[in-house]
A and B are shown apart, each in its own frame.
Chain A
Amino acid sequence: MPRRIRTATHAAVAAVVSGLVLALLALGIGPVPALGTALVPGAGVWDSAAGAELPHTETLDLAGLKAPVTVAFDDNGVPTVKAGSDDDLFQAQGYLHARFRLAQLDLERRAGRGRLAELNGPASLESDRFELQMGLLRTAEAEWAATPPDSPAGRALTSYTRGVNAWISELRHNGQWPAIFSLTGVHPADWTPVDSLVIQEVLTQSMDFTSTPLDYAIFRDSLGAQRTMDWFPVHAANDQRPYDPGPYRDLGTAPLPANVNSAGPDVPAAANRSQPRPAPVAPTGAPDPAGEATAARTLLDTIRALPATQMHTFPDSNAWVANGPAVAGGNAMLAGDPHLPTTLPSYWYQIALSSPETNATGASMAGMPGVLIGRNADISWSLTDAQNQSTVFYSERTSPDHPGQYFWNNAWHPMQRVEYTIPVRGGDTEHLAVDLTVHGPVITRAGQTTSVSWMGNVPSPDLAVLLAVDKARNYQEFRTALADWHAPTLNFAYADGGGNIGVVAAGYFPLTKAGDPWFPLPGTGEYDVVGAIPFDATPQAYNPPNHVIATANQRPVSADYPYYIGTSFNAFDNGYRAARIYQFLESHPAMTAADFTTLQNDTTDYLATVILPHLKEALAGTKLDARQQAALDVLDRWDSTMRPSVAGGPIWWTFWNDYLETTFQPWWDQAKVPVEKDRWYLKVSSALPSLDEDLEAWTLHDPANPAFTSPGGPTRTAPDAMRTAFAQAVSELSQDLGSDPATWTWDRVHTRQVPSLTDADALGYGPVPAEGDRWTVNAADGGMNSTFGPSWRMVVDWKGPGSATAQAVYPGGQSENPASPWYRTFIPYWRDGRSLPLLMAADQPASTKVWTLRPGA
């Protein structure tokens, strides 16, 4: 080859290679970001290092403020905001949330808006499709449209939005974006009030959306209807302790407002009150169990793939209150620890707010103005999930002869269609069409066209309620405010300086015209949701004669409550935490805040205290080998606490799960239950509250229940099954933990983890050996590596009107920046069961880090 051609070829190859590499660095490819722009040392991700700096005393200009605002940080980053008006107060709060939680804000709104794939790529497409189908965005838009701009909520959202955007605007100039934005090159758009409401909807979904009707459909298809209802009954088989023991009132049905996520004619008029009753034979709406099961399997595949923060997985939260002789000094005390997925950053951002109108301190939710859980000068409050059934699935009747239509109330009706585009980083933009029926959005057509009626899709003025709660001065104002709270349905625990205590279940408890709403219902009109339980008839308690109230996701009412609110599987807790809390509260007179803290950190497994005597009785006189005897000796010495260094916990836990498996698994195998479709709620395990309740009740009261006898097997009783399970547990633990049962401590099998919201392992905390299980008051749910538990612990001790001491802690830190000293500040306190003072703005000590926010351009 002539030299000239050779050199030209070299040059061409060099040009092509250079061009390709530069294009790769400029644009990225697939999941690989544009590394040139991301890693350039004078800008890019390195600019985010400045965001890790702790604040220092300075004056900042904030456009839109009416008067100067001061923000004083304590050593852990908790700000005290003092403003001359609520407008300025919430603008400053928005600014703070953005300064310290912008990536979290953007991730959460993306999740609700169906825009995660734009940041994360195709892996998030399924989540985006699901959320756009569900309609979180549509509901948020409707809520904002229904919010008068001059109302307290409208003004708060507008001010808050202005604060968030002030920081986004600064970032556009200084480039100090959180690393995730610089790395991906996808930067957040301006904040809007709808974004805050979308975040409210995400939390609502995570607390209130129920997928268990889908599990019920699968069980009915596999186990059969009779066994399904025998083993997953409406009312739990075990004894539970409701916080509202009655007497109850039947006040009829309250109508629901029009729903932006439903189509067609208005919802039918309220017809009845729906104590669950047999479904009438419906000529046009006969159930199709096989089709429903297919739809359920498809939907569960999607739902279980969603991020943990978007879906309800476990019963959430404890709160209890006591007054009079139950507390030292005779006033009132409140303890609250909402259980949520523990993440870094946390759901919560601690803050003290002060203006002439608002004076509150506690946990704010990143993305929303105000304080969600906390106290003001007069009252304190905390939340637990009501766990009622808020979701009803409908199997719509469709026909190839009527494309785009569904049969309802004896006529074919057109579905309404909403269309979306979903940008995908590193992929093609996807187009999505969502069809709406009178019940709600169609969420699958696999097997059966299925739509969902979900109370979270009914606009709920939650922010207006919260702002009123923040300002409430007594129980009457508190309760009056809660009457407008619709979703998620929560138990609001209350204590005030006047020595009063109470719990109010606020939110929609939907009622159907007929049928068993825990299964998917025919969508032909005979089984529609027709209203909700009137607020005055929802579970509530106020100043009870025993001076204590505890809400821990147990069924809040007894079996004679006149309304249907959910089943044992859908999704009330099995009552073990509530039973333990009541046991403690009623055996400790004149309790102090320290007692409440002790109870919040309690690791007693209540079920173990109930079952172990029966196990020992079953084993008495039985020939045990040396290791089994040693394991039994350990149990004899064990105090039923799931503490890390204590032997006994693993034996109990393994035994109980083996006992469940010994009893139920043969039936599951025979019925070929497709357990792989829902890793949490189809598999035989202690995560199915109904099975725990059944087994507990049978062990105590019905040891000859036929369920103990496996299909085709010899007759068996509870003691037989317990002996088998115990031998199996000892054998398994010997393999896993060695031959000496005295060394089988809980910390060898159980850990806690606080994962990063980004799923980056190294940005989380743990796993570390830890205490607790899913039934201990100090709950650790989510498996043997728990990622779910107390997301905020608070105790408020009222001394008199306007006078209280309070403490709180959460597993996280105020800053979302992993390089910040405030990223994990509170985790050591939380892990060790300690708390920090929760102070009102007026009580904050002098700070060395004070921002003065002044009105600026």
Chain B
Amino acid sequence: MNSAETALFGLPWWQAFVGGICTIAIFSFLYKENPFYRFFEHLYIGIATGIGVMATINTFLWPTVLKPMVGADRIPFPDGTYAEPYNEFYLLYLIPIAFGSLYYFILSRKHNWLAQLVIGFTLGYGGGLAFKATFNEMLPQLEDSFRPLYVAQQGAQSGIDWLATLSNLVFLFTLLTALSYFFFTFRRSEGGPAEKSALAGRWMMMGCFGAFFGATIMARMALLVERLEFLINKWFPLFFA
């Protein structure tokens, strides 16, 4: 087999070929629902799940947990001895492994209370972390919301920086009106300032949602262009090069 033939049916050729078939199969849904699409959709979900499981085993469970536990991480010498002695303390890993495995009792009607122990533990540490996370994330944003309503020009120029001042005013208006929209604990009088403020808040949020929608379209187009680039530059040349 010459080099040209190897290139034709070599691994990169097959990778690109199968990639193109998968892409077209998924895009066929745009025309209409069909079994070709359905098959590749299931294939994709299966592969994605398999990769996740294997990546966790290969990059975490085996090298970090199981390998030290069975002593396979030690360097062996030709005479059968090892560079370092076996560390029995790694067997303590069995305790969290056993505790975590209790989750599988969720499948048992009689013993599913054991699974609840794991769920309770998870909720407990999750709650604690969420508490910390909220402060770490929100405090700087809260601090940033205290903005001056008069911004002086920087440097040699004196007077008001109109653009920055206007920007801060818009920010404050949006912040207060959007917050007022979410006051549901008292009755707003019809046509009163609280209702008007809530209405303004709703409009401000609509503007925000519009930005989100525009960004969503852009993101979806970007995903599509990557696939098209693959089809045009890598897949079609398989047949015409």
**Do A and B truly interact?**
no
A residues lining the B interface (CB < 8 Å): none
